[in-house]
Every structure is written in C-alpha cells, then in structure tokens.
Amino acid sequence: VTGSLPISLQSCQCLAWKPRPVGLWPCPGESQHVVAGYSDGTVRVFSVSRTEMELKMHPHAAALTAITYSTDGEMILSGGKDGIVAVSSPRTGMTIHVLADHKGSPITVLQCIRKQYHDFGVEGGELWLATSSDRRVSVWASDWLQDKCELLDWLSFPAPAGPEGLDSLPPSLAAFCPWEHGVLVYVGFGLQKEALFYSLRKKQVLRKISLPAFATSLSLSPAASFMAIGFGDRLLRLQPCPAGDPQDYAGHDDTVHLCRFAPSGRRLLTASHSAVLVWELTGA
C-alpha cells in the first residue's frame, strides 16, 4: 500500500474502477480513478495517484448498494437500498437520470457492456442491467451522449414463499455472458438451485445448470467459457459452460460473498468474512 484515501465517517458500501478507453494507453501522469458509494447516499470519485477525493455527489436518499461506470467512463450508475438507480456525470456532478423501476428492493448488481444494437432493434452505445433483491432484472440500451435510455427487457424469476426475511435470502445476481452475445446468466433464490442462461433475442431461458446450493456470488470469465460461483458453505466452484465437470475448492472460512475475475481471466479474486484469496488460473 503506497497511500490511503481520505477517511469518511460514513461507511463505503461499494466501489468500481474507472475503465480506460479501448485502444488507448495510459498517458504520462494520468491518474486512475475509483468511484465509491456510501451509506449516506453519496457518490464520491477518488484519484488513486493523488489519494484525494475529486468529486462528491448526492443522488440518493438511501444507502448505496451497487455502483459502476459506463463502458467509456463518462457516466456513473449507482443503485440504492431503496431500489432507485441514478445515472450521474462525473464531469458536471449532475444526475441526468433517475430510474424507479426497481423501487422498494435493494439493487444488488449494476453492469455495463459495449454492444451492437441492430440485433435488438434499438439504438445505443451500450447495454446495461440492474438486478434487485426481489429477483427482478432490467436490461437497458443507452446512448448517454444523446440522452437516451430505453428498457430492452424485464425479467422476474419466481421463488417459493419462505419464512425468512428478504435480507436472509441468497442474493439475486445477474451478469452478461462474455462468450455468448445476447445472453445473461442469473442465479438467486428460486424454485431450484440452478444457474439460468437467458437469451435477450429469443426472450427465453436457453438452458439451466444445476448447483449444489443457492449461489452467494457470481463472476463470468472474460477469457474462457466458465464461471466462478461462491456458496454459503465455504465452497468455490469453477463451472465449465455450457457443460462439463465442475471443479470445487475449499479454503474460505465463511460464505464466499465475492468472486471477481481479472480482465485477463488469468486470476480470480474471492472473499469471505475474514479472508481474501487470489487464484491463479493456469488453463485460462
């Protein structure tokens, strides 16, 4: 650790690195940035090299639960505990969109990807999705320069009634599939313990992969056709897709609540209550 970012009295709930423009190398002296969402509803942008906060915005009335940059780094998408999604500009500090479609249920995932839109009959510079704790996923096509944001699909996954409260249930998680365009993967509390592959073109579930338990974390490899899934019994699974024998690994002391592949796909970071592990993937 070469430095520390300013300390806040509020707790940081989520963060994301600013992506670099495709095809461009870092300029000399260029600062990397991270954006963080806080429990007081604020979004804060930090310069890593200068270890200082450069911007503070307040687009939410509730604690932040998910945050990400648009693919070009020009917009920040943030989701709150109350289900509100805000789109804000780090250049101006202004919030340009507030979406209440998931209102009432905490946002668990926000993800943006570059995409070609002629296949879906809509215009835009990227696709993005929002997932909430009530097992709903919304998929959007956006062109931020043209101030366009269009709902492309709305998914709602059934689940049995349970005696537990919503906070005690496994999280609802979704991600765009890197190796199969137009497909997203969903895991969450439901009728069966499984991962669902849903086609945005066909508007249907293409296939299902059975799981040993309800997933607590999910990440899809950008370099190979497999995904990492964490579970509540300290288990990490690498699952080949669309079929193949899974590989299970122990090593965590508690629920594996975070899986995240590196952009190269050669390393995988996983985290539990008091352990952070980095895995080297020799076959990736």
What DSSP string runs through 107-146?
A: EEEEEEEE---TTTT---SEEEEEEETTTEEEEEEEEGGG
Q: Does residue 31 carry a pLDDT above 80?
A: no
- 35 burial class (0-12, 13-18, 19+ CB within 10 angstroms)? buried
Q: What is the pLDDT of residue 243?
A: 82
Angle subtended at Cα 256 by Cα 213 and Cα 103, rounded to the nearest 5 degrees:
80
Burial 80-113, CB ≥16 within 10 A → b, else e: bbbbbbbbbbbeeeebebebeebeebbbbbbbbe
Q: Could you read off the pLDDT of 55-91 as tens digits, one per residue?
A: 999 999 999 999 999 999 999 999 999 999 999 999 9
Q: Does residue 211 carry a pLDDT above 80?
A: yes
Look up residue 156 and give its two tokens: 């709602």
Q: What is the pLDDT of residue 166?
A: 46
Rounded mean pLDDT, 144-170: 81
Domains (range + CATH), the chain: 157-283 (2.130.10.10)
| Residue 26's pLDDT band (cuts 50, 70, 90) | low
Q: Does residue 23 carry a pLDDT above 60?
A: no
Q: Does residue 153 carry a pLDDT above 70?
A: yes
Which of residues 229 and 166 earns the better pLDDT score?
229
How far is CA 147 from its chain centroid? Answer: 23
Q: Does residue 203 carry a pLDDT above 60?
A: yes
User: Would you report the helix, strand and coil content of the chain in percent, each value rounded to 5?
Assistant: 0, 45, 50
Q: Which amino acid is at 264?
A: S
Q: Does residue 230 carry a pLDDT above 90?
A: yes
Coil, strand or helix: which one is 82?
A: coil
Which helix (H) or strand (E) segment holds residue 183: the answer is strand 183-187
Terminal Cα distance for the chain, rounded: 28
- Range 29-36 contact pairs with CB under 8 angstroms and sequence separation of 24 or more: 33/90, 35/67, 35/69, 35/76, 35/90, 36/12, 36/67
Least confident piece of the model among 42-46, 184-188, 218-222, 232-236: 232-236
> Which among 150, 139, 131 has a CA at the least distance from the CA of 218?
131
Coil, strand or helix: which one is 168?
A: helix
Least confident piece of the model among 78-92, 116-130, 260-274: 116-130
| Residue 1's pLDDT band (cuts 50, 70, 90) | very low
| Residue 184's pLDDT band (cuts 50, 70, 90) | very high
Give percent of the chain above pLDDT 90. Answer: 73
Angle subtended at Cα 81 by Cα 78 and Cα 86, rounded to the nearest 5 degrees:
25
Q: What is the pLDDT of residue 115?
A: 76
Q: Could you read off the pLDDT of 98-118 as tens digits, one per residue?
A: 999 999 999 999 999 987 656
Which of residues 174 and 253 earns the better pLDDT score?
174
- Global pTM? 0.90
Angle subtended at Cα 108 by Cα 227 and Cα 191, rounded to the nearest 5 degrees:
70
